[in-house]
Amino acid sequence: MITKERAQYILDVFKSLKILVIGDVMLDHYLFGNVERISPEAPVPVVEAMSEEYRLGGAANVANNLASLNVNTYICGIVGDDQANKILSSKLKESNIENLNIISHKPTIQKTRIIASHQQLLRIDWEDKTPFSDFNKIINNTPKNIDGIIVSDYAKGTITKELTKYLVKHYDFVAADPKPAHKEFYKNMTLITPNEKEAKGMYKEEDINILGKSLKQELNLKYLAITLGPKGVAFFEDSAVHTYKSVAREVYDVTGAGDTFIATIVASLLAGAKTFEACDLANIAAGIVVSKIGSATTNYQEILENVSNC
């Protein structure tokens, strides 16, 4: 495991990094309430609303995780000229994230979750998954003097093969949180971070070691990290595979854990961490956020406290 001193050094380097997140930007809307009865109109619970909250979601949650770790963070995605984007833009400003989003005819993606007694009862999505055809608008909004790019692909239309091909050609470090249907988009990337289900959707093989080595070779990746939930992460580099265990903790909500993982591992690698150190820090960070409700982030102090407890 990584030492506290080494973790502190790596985390301190984060504030000198510049990382751009490109992907499917979302606004997460939470309605919190209590359930004490069933509706007489239909066999469904009646939620007595107590409060509501807006959070950055999707690619914006990846950016929020980076910003919470003191990384100089940029975000570029597709949004609408609507109230959801006004709220989203305000949240990005609050988090000190440079907003490079492009306003289009598509609505801002918004997900409303209704939660009672720490349980999600229902989710409502507003979205248009039509592919965004004018990738040059994204390219023109992409700064040149950055250390790395994270492609946050939720298959909502922002990420295309043409776009990722350009990014890989023009930037030294490009990582992706992938979707299996877009496997060809990720060729020649530095790193991709699928979960176990996504990895098996990209390559039909049950054995994780064989799967990872085959997928890494097929896509010509420098690194491949397959997240395994409570079992940790299988990390592939060169011809070797290493498994790093997660720290045991109570899980309340896995929403956004993949966002936290890729934000932390990319920042760590760019900060000069060894691969085992980057995996340890990313595992710790993801473990912290699953103990929170909804799309959440962690920070410098929380990670250091959990390193010392390992």
Active site residues: 259
Pick the closest to residue 285 from 304, 298, 301 (CA basis): 298
Tell the burial category of 281 from Cβ atoms under 10 Å away from its Cβ (0-12, 13-18, 19+).
buried
Asked whether 64 and 95 are in contact (CB, 8 A), the reply is yes
Structure tokens, 92: 């990005």
3-state secondary structure of 12: helix
φ/ψ region of 70 (left if φ > 0, alpha if ψ in -120 to 50, else beta) reads left
Q: Residue 296 is which amino acid? A: A
Pick the closest to residue 226 from 191, 255, 254, 253 (CA basis): 191
User: For 50, which DSSP code?
Assistant: E
